[in-house]
Structure 1
Amino acid sequence: MSTKLDKTIARSQEKIAEGLFYEAHQGIRTVAARYIRAKSYNEAIQVLYSGAEALLKADQAGSASDLTSYLIDTYNISETKVDSTSRARIIQLLMLFDHSEPTLKRIGQESIAWSSKFGPLPQGDSELHHVLGSIYAKDNEAYEAEKHLLLGTKESPEILANLLFEWSQEDPEAENNAPLYMARGVLGYLALGDIRDAKKISKVFIAKFIQTTGSSPKSFNAFDDESGNSTIYIFPKAPIFDFLQLLIITCQTKSTEMYQRLHGRYINVVSVIDAFKSPVSKIAEIFFGIKPVRQANMLQDLMGSLFGGSN
């Protein structure tokens, strides 16, 4: 190492290796602040990232959390765009945190806010959402995981399906209520206009349901959809499963007439579960041009009240 920046980083690494964590932490903040005042943002980012990474590897999550927040602040100050490099720094640090770290949620929120402001997606970067959702899923933080995985990548639905199924198994009425848990994923994705991931949720969840419950072929009817690319399982005793699968197919057709027939057939399913009303209304608007009677907070209704006892 020959440059001034390299030497600064090396000194910080040495202090951390020697266990001088507080001194290293404060020194990194001081150097970063100096670079920021000089508008040498790239240097500040490198110092903060390397310091946070080293502190995390030394099990100093508190100090590392502070530097990670400072790094994100610097991204915002410098108007750093979301790209493979800027994203990778955040992902690497997120994955080094222990899942139970209390500041992780705040850091996650800060990283999503930055990616929303300086990336192409107003809801935040999908890869960051996927990583955060995966972290929360491993820690059995179902609500937090769900929020992020619904906005994640094409790898997110399988993780969400497994999470929702495991969540359903904690329900005292697991076999009867399992379709409600699948609905969280299917309706969540469809209300975002995402048919592909809704199909994935349905496929993974129902396969696990059949395997776990030991459902015999007599308890459901299986047939291929018109495309021949997927199998539909009709459960006479679980109409919500049927409605969700047929809704996915109907959304693919974008046929208002088919949707109205489906909705009419399952009106007793849709109308008695309050948390279905907002996402189903949103889905009808997106795919069939049916305007909702009133605007509602779809995701909040879906995730916040599905198990609130109002059915």
Structure 2
Amino acid sequence: MAASGNSGVERVLQKCHKCVEAGNFYEAHQMYRTVSFRYSGQKKYTEAIDLLYNGARTLLQHNQHSSGADLAMLVIEVLNAAKYTVTEDTTDKVVSLLRYMDPNAPERLPYLNAAIRWTMKVDNHFSAGHPDLHKKCGMLFWQEKNYVQARYHFLHSSDGKNFAAMLIEYHTSQGFTSEVDLFIAQAVLQYLCLQNKDTAHVVFLSYTKDHPDVENGPPFLKPLLNFIWFLLIALEGGKVAVFTVLCEKYQTSIQRDPSYREYLDKIGQIFFGLPPPQTSPQGFFGNLLQSLLVDDEDDKVATHMPPQPTATTPVKQESNVDLD
């Protein structure tokens, strides 16, 4: 998005600033709206966005929260109308206005949701919103010590390093010592459910390396950390048998949080080709063991099949993973 250089925009901004300096906030607000509608009607979207952005920022800085938020919402409307792509400049403007809003203002959340929906419309590769916008929102909420919101947005970003740093601060300031492994385990499992394996690796390695209460590893003293470590390794091989034995061996750790079973069901489907779990009196681990038995039967059938033509490409040998 181009910087404001249009002489017409500059003249309007000067008039509006004079109104603001005189305390005529209502008049300034209406002038911003009227002129921006005129620009939008003429498809001068860049001028409209520059005018609205400057107006929203000015009014918010003068504690005119409702009027400023109204203009900020109009910025999103113009971005949608113009089908603006997600760029560094557009996301900077969106998050800048979010920063100027009072954290407790009721208009803040609807504005943020509207901005996320805009990124979803113009880039349908990201069903939960563009990761760059989520990253910047995560950084903002982290600065505000709103760890819950920061965690949500980092989870939909690709910034595992800052997510890990935020989780460390979150745990050390508000968590119990006994929860040091729970904070990172849930984050990794949720990343995997979102099919973001690469960032899951980064956040785990950064968290376990930098957290003052986690000893050097792997292996780790806490079994749940070892489970996550082995799970990340198992993803590379995609072997159902390894995944099943891993979940069985660490079921005591997995049972510490009921949500882990649901996450692992989803991970099994995504990375290991398992079907959705059937209702069974044996529960989650019974289903996993049944999957292991089926996998073993498949291996037995394969050994009795007639010899197949050999491939010209050498087969990569799987490394054995010691789960002890």
Q: What TM-score, normalized by structure 2, do the two folds share?
A: 0.74
What is the letter of the counterpart of residue 158 of structure 1?
A: K
1:281 matched residue in structure 2: 265
Q: What is the rounded CA distance, in whole Å, between the counterparts of 2:44 and 2:202 in structure 1?
A: 45
Instruction: Say whether residues 1:265 and 2:265 are aligned partners.
Output: no
| Native 8 Å contact 1:76 1:114 kept in 2 | yes
**Equivalent residues in 2 for 1:57-136, closer than 5 Å:** 57-119=61-123, 120-136=125-141
1:158 matched residue in structure 2: 161
What is the DSSP-based 3-state SS (H/G/I as helix, E as strand, rest coil) of the residue aligned with 1:234? coil
What is the letter of the counterpart of residue 244 of structure 1?
A: I
Q: What is the rounded CA distance, in whole Å, between the counterparts of 1:85 and 1:208 in structure 2?
A: 32
**Equivalent residues in 2 for 1:1-311, closer than 5 Å:** 3-119=7-123, 120-154=125-159, 157-169=160-172, 174-209=176-211, 211=212, 213=213, 231-235=217-221, 238-271=222-255, 273-293=257-277
What is the letter of the counterpart of residue 153 of structure 2?
A: H
Q: What is the rounded CA distance, in whole Å, between the counterparts of 1:272 and 1:50 in structure 2?
A: 50
**Once the 2 structures are TM-superposed, how far is the Cα of residue 39 of structure 1 from its aligned partner?**
4.1
Name structure 1 gaps, 5 residues minimum: 223-230, 296-311
Instruction: Mark the CA change 1:58 to 1:256 in structure 2 (over 3 Å): closer, same or farther.
Output: same
- RMSD (CA atoms): 2.7
What is the letter of the counterpart of residue 140 of structure 1?
A: K
What is the letter of the counterpart of residue 36 of structure 1?
A: S
Q: What is the rounded CA distance, in whole Å, between the counterparts of 2:156 and 2:78 in structure 1?
A: 25
| Native 8 Å contact 2:6 2:47 kept in 1 | no
**Once the 2 structures are TM-superposed, how far is the Cα of residue 208 of structure 1 from its aligned partner?**
4.3
What is the DSSP-based 3-state SS (H/G/I as helix, E as strand, rest coil) of the residue aligned with 1:233? coil
Q: What is the rounded CA distance, in whole Å, between the counterparts of 1:180 and 1:3 in structure 2?
A: 56
Q: What is the rounded CA distance, in whole Å, between the counterparts of 2:272 and 2:230 in structure 1?
A: 15
Q: What is the rounded CA distance, in whole Å, between the counterparts of 1:44 and 1:208 in structure 2?
A: 46
Q: What is the rounded CA distance, in whole Å, between the counterparts of 1:88 and 1:283 in structure 2?
A: 34
| Native 8 Å contact 1:52 1:64 kept in 2 | yes
Q: What is the rounded CA distance, in whole Å, between the counterparts of 1:248 and 1:2 in structure 2?
A: 53
Instruction: Mark the CA change 1:290 to 1:72 in structure 2 (over 3 Å): closer, same or farther.
Output: same
**Once the 2 structures are TM-superposed, how far is the Cα of residue 45 of structure 1 from its aligned partner?**
2.0
- Cα shift readout 1:62-108 (whole Å, capped 9, x = no counterpart): 32211000111222233333234433321332344454544322211
Q: What is the rounded CA distance, in whole Å, between the counterparts of 2:28 and 2:36 in structure 1?
A: 12
Q: What TM-score, normalized by structure 1, do the two folds share?
A: 0.77
Q: What is the rounded CA distance, in whole Å, between the counterparts of 2:204 and 2:64 in structure 1?
A: 41
What is the letter of the counterpart of residue 10 of structure 2?
A: D
Q: What is the rounded CA distance, in whole Å, between the counterparts of 1:50 and 1:139 in structure 2?
A: 23
Percent identity over the alignment is: 25
Q: What is the rounded CA distance, in whole Å, between the counterparts of 2:238 and 2:21 in structure 1?
A: 60
| Native 8 Å contact 1:256 1:288 kept in 2 | yes
What is the DSSP-based 3-state SS (H/G/I as helix, E as strand, rest coil) of the residue aligned with 1:81? coil
Q: What is the rounded CA distance, in whole Å, between the counterparts of 1:68 and 1:2 in structure 2?
A: 20
**Once the 2 structures are TM-superposed, how far is the Cα of residue 272 of structure 1 from its aligned partner?**
5.3
What is the DSSP-based 3-state SS (H/G/I as helix, E as strand, rest coil) of the residue aligned with 2:47? helix
1:301 matched residue in structure 2: none
Q: What is the rounded CA distance, in whole Å, between the counterparts of 2:88 and 2:55 in structure 1?
A: 20
**Once the 2 structures are TM-superposed, how far is the Cα of residue 114 of structure 1 from its aligned partner?**
0.7
**Once the 2 structures are TM-superposed, how far is the Cα of residue 187 of structure 1 from its aligned partner?**
0.9
**Once the 2 structures are TM-superposed, how far is the Cα of residue 201 of structure 1 from its aligned partner?**
2.0
**Once the 2 structures are TM-superposed, how far is the Cα of residue 9 of structure 1 from its aligned partner?**
2.4
Q: What is the rounded CA distance, in whole Å, between the counterparts of 1:42 and 1:268 in structure 2?
A: 58
List, as ranges, runs of 4+ consecutive aligned residues in structure 1 with deviation greater than 6 Å.
Answer: none
Q: Aligned residue pairs: how many? A: 274
What is the DSSP-based 3-state SS (H/G/I as helix, E as strand, rest coil) of the residue aligned with 2:219? strand
What is the letter of the counterpart of residue 194 of structure 2?
A: L
Q: What is the rounded CA distance, in whole Å, between the counterparts of 2:179 and 2:246 in structure 1?
A: 21
| Native 8 Å contact 2:186 2:260 kept in 1 | no
**Once the 2 structures are TM-superposed, how far is the Cα of residue 37 of structure 1 from its aligned partner?**
3.7
